[in-house]
Structure 1
Amino acid sequence: MRCILNVTLGALISVSALATTAYADGVDQLPATEKKIYETVDPQIPLGASAYKDFKPKKGPPWKIGYASSYAGNTWRAAALDAVMSDLLPRSKAAGLVSDVVVTQSDLKDAVQIQQMRQMVDEGVDAIIICCSNVTALNQTIEYAYKAGVPVFSFSGYVTSPYAINGAANHAQGGAEMATWLAEKIGKKGNILLVSGIPGFASSDSFDKAAKEALAKYPDIKIVGEVAGKWTDQVAQVEVQKFLATNPTKIDGILTQGAQENGVLNAMLQSGRDMIPITLGGEASAACYWRKNPEFVDRSFHIWPPRREMQQMWEIMLRTLEGQGPKVQSFLRPVLPYTIDEVRAAIPEDCDLNSTDFVEPKADGWFPAAIAADYFERPADPWKPVSK
């Protein structure tokens, strides 16, 4: 079952800036409501004007797209790929916009991903999508693609190359908001276990840095352990189980990134310890536990909705190939909190505690067309069928 949730931004938790940024050329062109999203960001994220403001594709449409994925081993990546193959590609073919998608997997090996991307360029793709990569490792290859007229789009994370376009949630805001919520939830004192994603990857590091800064404001809270769940439930479960088995210290809350919270939850359930608050980021399995145990937590957060993030980047890619002129290097989305009432509306009472699906905003709830238009010089409907 595909779980779709309609959410509004609502009142966000107030946090101090990880990096309070003077607006760069690109961001300065955005309306005030969008500029606000960029107030607290990872200091490495590129905020300048896009190199593709006046870009025109070599040919087409229809265009051939490369998806150079760095990892295929978790439910989040599977959902993102399913969004392409089951929805975005068929719609794009029907509109005469895309002819095919070439998919590769590098298993977290930068050298392999670099070779795959260069091969895509040499074999004539018109654009490349990457995901959640190391912030600098691919930069020379991205420039290689740019010089060949092939734009590179990094979704759910960022790269520092000036020749890429990034699209993601503001992971710094996400880490700060989740950490602040958890600190308040456990009464502003106690021990916290931090479960990172993949250290060294942009979204993982941005989240962790901001989360630690937020927790530092609570003198009676201590991070007593850090493990890496690699955004994979099975890995997170093993790592948390090992930590709990070898550290008898009382844990009052667990701060985890998304696509692994069900593994964290299962580790706690199997540990024999009393259940404690755990941050949730959209996995339907963990949301199901919350639905069945409403006292568990009182808030969850959309930071990594896989289908919605892929749709956002796909539409940014289409608009860029259509010559709409992106204004910024990095398209950031705000964190969207949601409640158990919205979970009840999204998944049934007899929901599956082992579901591999995600609770996500509705199709236009993550990057609405009206907002997307503000990010482009010459905005138009990216899905308008092409006249032949």
Structure 2
Amino acid sequence: MFRKLAFTATLLALTASTSLAEGLDEINPDVAKRLYNAEMLDPGQPVGASKWRDFVAKNPPPWKIGYASSYAGNTWRAAVMDELQNKIVPEWKALGLLSDVVITQSNLNDSTQIQQIRQLVDQKVDAIIVCCSNPTALNATVKYAADKGVPVFSLTGYLTSEYSINSSVNYQVAGYEIGKDMADQLGGKGKVLVVEGIPGTSGSDSQNRGVLAGLSTAPDIKIAGSVAGMWTDQVAQGEVQKWLATNPGKLDGIVVQSAAEMGVLRAVQQSGRGDIPVAIGGELGALCYWRNNPDYIRSSFQVWPPADEIELIWNIMMRTLQGQGPKIQSILVDPVKLSHDDLKAVMKEDCSVDTAEWLKVGADRWGGASAYLDDFFLRPADPKAFKK
């Protein structure tokens, strides 16, 4: 049903002619070539040997985990929290491997998040998950945690600290495919508005770099402008409405980072320019619009399905606490391409554009499957089967 993204001929030609980043000789060579190729990897993405290869948790389970979130103001964060609190926590407590999860929110304030992480370490958590943070601002605090024997795991984006363990899609590859797909849909010519996420975060900047590269594959595609949607529908709707009001000329397409596509769709429709194609990610409301307007776009790309993302980093964290030994600093997965036929198979015609929920891809398609994750660990095993 869902398909891991098949690279375009252009991307294959590019990757075939370039060398792989260093530190990847222990993982599957096909995965290394596909997702860790130096030309299609964010230059800041840390991919060297992990500092936690020989780590043994200082305490036996059940473990106490900290989740230092940087933001709570969009549907994606709400979906992560729902999956964490209502599925992951009960499941792992029942396994006897989790005692508690302590959650903090910093509202995009680096200093606050730094303070909260240090407090979590001082509260004797066994590991910390951070979300979507500035790639460099937390590094000293990550080292503080490491010195106390507490590994820090970065969800949906990377930290540049040599002591962080990161997981995400390869955002530059995903952005490239989204941008190229829009360029192809427009027949290789036209004006496109780019809606970024939160500039300065690794996931947003990496994906935007890929989007621009994908659009540039067609020399007659022009960037009409760029706004920051802040991964939030309400923000993106307001920013795009303002842009459209002050730029009444022809606009042929909008590339937007999820979670903001529903806001962009509303802005376009309210402006009376509802025929402009908007890139759609994982928000079910936007997917419902496409479900009932099959010619609107050609494809949807799943870049960070929230339930799958938190499950992926959780499994990586538990494997590390169990002493399985992560081989490298960043575990990357493939974006998933969704056709309209794929969407019809999982979404009924009576769906609602007003839903705030997200599509769940499933662990077997989002790197969480044992066979895929096993390759990134020195001593792989089923983390749910761990015995004290």
Tell me the TM-score range normalised by the shorter chain: over 0.9
> Does residue 376 of the first structure (1) align with residue 348 of the second (2)?
no
Partner in structure 2 of residue 241 of structure 1: 241
Partner in structure 2 of residue 87 of structure 1: 87
> How far off is 1:215 after superposition?
2.1
**Stretches of structure 2 lacking an aligned partner (at least 5 in a row):** none
**In structure 2, C-alpha distance between the alignment counterparts of 1:211 and 1:248, rounded to whole Å:** 24
**In structure 1, C-alpha distance between the alignment counterparts of 2:266 and 2:25, rounded to whole Å:** 45
**In structure 2, C-alpha distance between the alignment counterparts of 1:21 and 1:96, rounded to whole Å:** 44
Alignment of 1:1-12 (within 5 A): 6-9=1-4, 11-12=6-7
Normalised by the size of structure 2, how large is the TM-score? 0.95
Task: Indicate conservation of the 8 Å contact 2:41/2:170, yes or no.
Answer: yes
**In structure 2, C-alpha distance between the alignment counterparts of 1:92 and 1:42, rounded to whole Å:** 33
Q: Cα deviation per residue 1:186-224 (whole Å; 9 max; x = unaligned)? A: 010110000000000000000111221232232211111
Q: Which runs of 4+ in 1 moved over 3 A?
A: none
> Does residue 129 of the first structure (1) align with residue 129 of the second (2)?
yes
After superposition, the Cα gap between the structure-2 partners of 1:371 and 1:238, relative to the gap in structure 1 and judged at 3 Å, is: same
Counterpart of 1:24 (choices 22, 25, 28) is: 22
Partner AA of 1:37 in structure 2: L
- Stretch of structure 1 that moved more, 353-362 or 305-314: 353-362
Task: Indicate conservation of the 8 Å contact 2:20/2:36, yes or no.
Answer: no
Q: Cα deviation per residue 1:37-73 (whole Å; 9 max; x = unaligned)? A: 1121101100101000000111020100000000000
Q: CA RMSD in A?
A: 1.3
- Name the SS for the 2:381 alignment partner: coil
Task: Indicate conservation of the 8 Å contact 1:96/1:385, yes or no.
Answer: no
Task: Indicate conservation of the 8 Å contact 2:182/2:215, yes or no.
Answer: no
Alignment of 1:224-373 (within 5 A): 224-367=224-367, 368-373=369-374
Partner AA of 1:382 in structure 2: P
Counterpart of 2:31 (choices 21, 28, 34) is: 34
Task: Indicate conservation of the 8 Å contact 1:10/1:337, yes or no.
Answer: yes
Task: Indicate conservation of the 8 Å contact 2:322/2:386, yes or no.
Answer: no
Task: Indicate conservation of the 8 Å contact 1:169/1:332, yes or no.
Answer: yes
> Does residue 155 of the first structure (1) align with residue 150 of the second (2)?
no
Partner AA of 2:2 in structure 1: V
**In structure 1, C-alpha distance between the alignment counterparts of 2:244 and 2:19, rounded to whole Å:** 39
- Name the SS for the 1:23 alignment partner: coil
- Name the SS for the 1:28 alignment partner: coil
Partner AA of 2:7 in structure 1: L
**In structure 1, C-alpha distance between the alignment counterparts of 2:265 and 2:71, rounded to whole Å:** 23
* Structure with more relative contact order (C-alpha pairs < 8 Å, separation 6 or more): 1
**In structure 2, C-alpha distance between the alignment counterparts of 1:362 and 1:320, rounded to whole Å:** 22
Task: Indicate conservation of the 8 Å contact 2:5/2:335, yes or no.
Answer: no
Task: Indicate conservation of the 8 Å contact 1:186/1:277, yes or no.
Answer: no
Task: Indicate conservation of the 8 Å contact 1:24/1:49, yes or no.
Answer: no
Partner in structure 1 of residue 60 of structure 2: 60
Partner AA of 1:196 in structure 2: E
> How far off is 1:276 after superposition?
1.7
**In structure 2, C-alpha distance between the alignment counterparts of 1:21 and 1:279, rounded to whole Å:** 31
> How far off is 1:385 after superposition?
5.1
Q: Cα deviation per residue 1:77-131 (whole Å; 9 max; x = unaligned)? A: 0111111111111111011111000000000000000000000000100000001
Partner AA of 1:32 in structure 2: P
**In structure 2, C-alpha distance between the alignment counterparts of 1:48 and 1:363, rounded to whole Å:** 25
Task: Indicate conservation of the 8 Å contact 2:180/2:217, yes or no.
Answer: no
- Name the SS for the 1:153 alignment partner: strand
Partner AA of 1:374 in structure 2: D
**In structure 1, C-alpha distance between the alignment counterparts of 2:247 and 2:94, rounded to whole Å:** 56
Number of aligned residue pairs: 380
Partner in structure 2 of residue 209 of structure 1: 209
Amino-acid identity (%): 50
Partner AA of 1:172 in structure 2: Q
> How far off is 1:21 after superposition?
5.1
Partner in structure 2 of residue 3 of structure 1: none
Q: Cα deviation per residue 1:207-261 (whole Å; 9 max; x = unaligned)? A: 1112212322322111111000000001101100110011112110001111111
Partner in structure 1 of residue 70 of structure 2: 70
**In structure 1, C-alpha distance between the alignment counterparts of 2:349 and 2:383, rounded to whole Å:** 38
**In structure 1, C-alpha distance between the alignment counterparts of 2:41 and 2:19, rounded to whole Å:** 7
**Stretches of structure 1 lacking an aligned partner (at least 5 in a row):** 1-5
- Name the SS for the 2:226 alignment partner: strand
